[in-house]
Amino acid sequence: MSYNLLKGKRGIVFGALNDQSIAWKVAERACEEGATIILSNTPVAVRMGEVSALAEKLNCEVIPADATSVEDLEVVFQRAIEILGGKVDFVLHSIGMSPNVRKKRTYDDLDYDLLNKTIDISAVSFHKMLQVAKKMGAIADYGSVVALTYVAAQRTLFGYNDMADAKAMLESIARSFGYIYGREHSVRVNTISQSPTLTTAGAGIKGMENLMDFSNRMSPLGNANADECADYCITMFSDLTRKVTMQTLFHDGGFSSMGMSLRAMNQYEKSFDQFRDENGNLIYG
Ligand SMILES: NC(=O)c1ccc[n+]([C@@H]2O[C@H](COP(=O)([O-])OP(=O)(O)OC[C@H]3O[C@@H](n4cnc5c(N)ncnc54)[C@H](O)[C@@H]3O)[C@@H](O)[C@H]2O)c1
């Protein structure tokens, strides 16, 4: 159902790869709510992925950009202003990737060049986006910028690896830049901490299905799916949330506030022997 929450607004959505992507759902919902948008993803993703099909469906343009490249980001914001006919009102950063996870390097055996890449792609790109936009005056006053994050920034979840460090930094950038951008242009900067969601990036997380099941059972409202995440992003882009900034907003069915549930407590009685080696020592994890 459409409420015209973004009527007349212009936006840029980074990170739609396929119809499972959270950014894909956000792009669809934004247009449904009356926005005109630009899509962006890496040149490879644009060539290999399905983003062009989405652009056709939504009647919008795709501007390829590697979000770690300041030059590429300058082109995106410049072209977006030209194509959309004015400054943008909202931006979604829906970008994450860990080459260490891809190469199955564990957290106590990280490759540091790859760690730099994880952080550049998944966190520093958000700073680059904000800095480029601010220097160019590309975001309209009272605009809204959202990046997607995960609770592993606050709590250790087995297998999330160096992405946890990247997400902690991403959330910190939202606070630090949110202060400056808010003070000078009333632009709000927030992160939305989403439940585990089955997407291409999500599938890379070790034990994703069990993690999803655990958090679904632990959350009083159950896991939030990608469509629900898109709804939340839309409210954050709308004028209904004009005084919300510098926050990590948990969109996780209550998971982040839970400690122990009855079902988890019952499950806890099951055997732990499989986590001991032949000498009875606890195995890492
Ligand atoms: N899926 C989950 O469980 C989950 C949970 C919480 C937060 N998130 C976050 O949501 C965001 C979107 O992920 P998703 O789950 O929709 O998966 P996804 O794989 O559909 O999206 C990730 C996107 O990042 C893009 N990307 C990677 N490197 C890039 C670069 N250098 N420049 C520009 N784009 C680049 C990919 O092309 C892809 O479109 C990520 O930040 C992710 O960490 C996901």
Decide if 116 contacts 142 (C-beta within 8 A). no
Residue 198 alpha carbon to ligand 1 centre in Å: 11
Query: Shortest CA distance to 35 belongs to which of 233, 220, 223?
Result: 233
Instruction: Tell me which residue of 200, 198, 160 sits closest to 42, measured CA to CA.
Output: 200
Ligand 1 probe mutation, 48, 97, 227, most atoms within 8 A of CB: 97
9: exposed, middle or buried (Cβ count in 10 Å: 0-12, 13-18, 19+): buried
Confidence (pLDDT) at 284: 64
Nearest by Cα to 146 from 6, 21, 2, 23: 23
pLDDT in tens, 98-152: 999 999 999 999 999 999 999 999 999 999 999 999 999 999 999 999 999 999 9
Which pTM does this prediction carry?
0.95
pLDDT band for position 1 (cuts 50, 70, 90): confident
Alpha-carbon gap, residue 212 to 226, rounded angstroms: 13
Residue 243 CB burial class (10 angstroms; 0-12, 13-18, ≥19): exposed
**Residue 201 amino acid letter:** A
Q: Are 87 and 39 in contact (CB under 8 A)?
A: no
Report d(CA 179, CA 57) in Å as an integer: 37
Residue 161's region, left for phi above 0, alpha for psi from -120 to 50, else beta, is left
Reported as a pLDDT band with limits 50, 70 and 90, residue 267 is confident
Ordered by where they begin, the domains of the chain are: 10-259 (3.40.50.720)
Atom of ligand 1 nearest to the CA of 67: 32
What per-residue confidence (pLDDT) applies to 45? 95
The neighbouring-strand residues paired with 103 are none
Residue nearest to atom 11 of ligand 1 (CA): 94
Which residues lie with the beta carbon below 6 Å from any ligand 1 atom? Answer: 15, 17, 21-23, 41-42, 45, 66-68, 94-97, 121, 148-150, 194, 196-197, 199-202
If one counts every other C-beta atom within 10 angstroms of the C-beta of residue 262, the result is 7
